[in-house]
Structure 1
Amino acid sequence: MNNMITTCHLTKKYKSFTAVNDVSLHIQKGRIYGFLGPNGAGKSTTMKMLLGLTAPTKGSFTINGKHFPDDRLEILKGIGSLIEAPSFYANLTGRENLDIIRRILDLPKHAVDDALALVGLTEFENRLAKKYSLGMKQRLGLAEALLGRPPILILDEPTNGLDPSGIHEIRNLIKSLPALYDCTVLISSHMLSEIELMADDIGILNHGRLLFEGELDELRHYALQRGFSADHLEDMFLSMIEQDNLSRKQRAKL
């Protein structure tokens, strides 16, 4: 198995609160990994640790054969990311916004053309970013992440705030990326029906703990073994979270 991202007992504590608790992930090369969990489960914190935005309290991780923290800069060079809402210079065009990042990353000029084409923004490249629709802004954020075609993409709620048409566009784009240029995608979303349509593998987090990791078919088998409905990802997810929350309450009473 060729893992692009491996975490080992990754933990993040803030004083007495444990946001991420002993999480070991195995994200395979060329696949889309759906990272799921309720609000506050620790998904964003995990992604921020992988991007070097916050340091682990305990544990370690390896990305594309490079170890954190020794290879931190090399790791970051190989990751494109969209975390929370993308931000732009409103009075610059889409192309100009991308060109600033291109120069920071020391990429060739054609990298901007390539990224605009990938997300379908070429015809709007000279429009001011402040005049972009919400869906176009999300696509511009993805274009920033795709500059230079990094081998790994980390996307946190990339369809957040989009209408059904925009969600459909972004989902189809993300789904096509591994085949387009052999990248690996780690994506979190509350839209479980969308994750079900695009993800190869699933990781489910609750209260900072990893409840499940594996392929969708493995998740269905796991759910059926425990008497859960396995018709849809949302049913399986909610059943697992409810059972874990109940177990936590019972343990707390002991």
Structure 2
Amino acid sequence: MKYIITTEQLTKKYKNFTAVNGVSLHIRQGSIYGFLGPNGAGKSTTMKMLLGLTTLTEGSFAIDGKHFPADRLTILKEIGSFIESPSFYANLTGRENLDIIRQILELPKSSVDDALELVGLEEFGNRLAKKYSLGMKQRLGLAGALLGRPPILILDEPTNGLDPTGIHEIRSLVKSLPTLYNCTILISSHMLSEIELIADDIGILNHGRLLFEGRMEDLRRDASQESFAADNLENMFLSIIEKDNLARKKEAKL
């Protein structure tokens, strides 16, 4: 089994606050890894460290056998990312917005058409970005991440703010990508029912600590052993988080 992303005791501290606390991830090549946690759990901070957008305080990580920070530029060339809501030049077309990214990445011109086709925007590529619906903007953001078909995608809340139709479209797209070109996807979302439909592996974070990592069947087994409801991901997630929060409250009283 090959892990394409590994972190070892990854930690991020801000003065007296620890946002990410000793997180060790193991993300299998070709898998979709659902990265879950309540607001403020440290998911986005972890993703930003992997992208070099914020510095780590302690620990280390490797991506496709390359180590940070020595191989930072090489690592970034292998990753397509979608972090929070993407922003575009409103008075440029979708195609023109993507072409700016393409030139920065030094990719061939054909990569823009390829990315637009992957996300189903090929017929809207010449429309101004300001005339895109929210769902189309999310897909354009994904197109930016998909330019050049990178082997790794890091997607932070790609369905945020979408209606049910838009959520279904993005979910279907994300689910298809590993088969389309053998990429690996690290995706965070609060839409647990959506993650349950697409993820091969799950990581659950709370207060900066990794509470669980493994396949869905491992999560169900652990939940059953704890006498938690194991019928769906949302129930298992809430039970694990509640148990950890209760344990924290007990520790705080001691």
Q: The TM-score by the shorter chain falls in which range?
A: over 0.9
State the alpha-carbon separation in 2 of the partners of residues 100 and 48 from structure 1. 22
TM-score (norm 1): 1.00
Letter in 1 for 2:32: I
Letter in 1 for 2:127: R
Structure 2 residue runs of 5 or longer lacking an equivalent are: none
State the alpha-carbon separation in 1 of the partners of residues 237 and 15 from structure 2. 29
The residue aligned with 2:135 is 135
State the alpha-carbon separation in 2 of the partners of residues 73 and 222 from structure 1. 39
The residue aligned with 1:83 is 83
State the alpha-carbon separation in 2 of the partners of residues 165 and 232 from structure 1. 22
2:189 maps to 1:189: yes
State the alpha-carbon separation in 2 of the partners of residues 138 and 119 from structure 1. 10
State the alpha-carbon separation in 1 of the partners of residues 100 and 55 from structure 2. 27
Question: 1:216 Cα deviation (Å)?
Answer: 0.3
Letter in 1 for 2:173: L
Write out aligned runs for 1:73-222 (5 A).
73-222=73-222
Task: Describe the superposition over 1:119-164 as per-residue Cα deviations: whole angstroms up to 9, x where unpaired.
Answer: 0000001000000000000000000000000000000000000000
Letter in 1 for 2:118: L
Task: Describe the superposition over 1:14-56 as per-residue Cα deviations: whole angstroms up to 9, x where unpaired.
Answer: 0010000000000000000000000000000000000000111
TM-score (norm 2): 1.00
Question: 1:237 Cα deviation (Å)?
Answer: 0.2
Question: 1:67 Cα deviation (Å)?
Answer: 0.1
The residue aligned with 1:43 is 43
State the alpha-carbon separation in 1 of the partners of residues 229 and 209 from structure 2. 22
Letter in 1 for 2:62: T
Identity of aligned residues (%): 80
State the alpha-carbon separation in 1 of the partners of residues 9 and 104 from structure 2. 34
Question: 1:241 Cα deviation (Å)?
Answer: 0.2
State the alpha-carbon separation in 2 of the partners of residues 218 and 50 from structure 1. 26
Following superposition, which runs of at least 4 residues in structure 1 exceed 4 angstroms of deviation? none
Question: 1:250 Cα deviation (Å)?
Answer: 0.4
2:20 maps to 1:20: yes
Letter in 1 for 2:58: K
State the alpha-carbon separation in 1 of the partners of residues 94 and 104 from structure 2. 16
The residue aligned with 1:2 is 2
The residue aligned with 2:235 is 235
Question: 1:218 Cα deviation (Å)?
Answer: 0.4
State the alpha-carbon separation in 2 of the partners of residues 54 and 100 from structure 1. 24
State the alpha-carbon separation in 2 of the partners of residues 45 and 125 from structure 1. 32
The residue aligned with 1:69 is 69
Task: Describe the superposition over 1:204-252 as per-residue Cα deviations: whole angstroms up to 9, x where unpaired.
Answer: 0000000000000100000000000000100000000000000000011
Query: Helix, strand or coil: the match of 2:123?
Result: helix
Letter in 2 for 1:30: G
State the alpha-carbon separation in 2 of the partners of residues 117 and 97 from structure 1. 15
Query: Helix, strand or coil: the match of 1:155?
Result: strand
Task: Describe the superposition over 1:37-87 as per-residue Cα deviations: whole angstroms up to 9, x where unpaired.
Answer: 000000000000000001110000000110000000111010000000001
State the alpha-carbon separation in 1 of the partners of residues 52 and 99 from structure 2. 24
Letter in 2 for 1:243: K
Task: Describe the superposition over 1:71-125 as per-residue Cα deviations: whole angstroms up to 9, x where unpaired.
Answer: 0011101000000000100000000001111111110111001000000000001
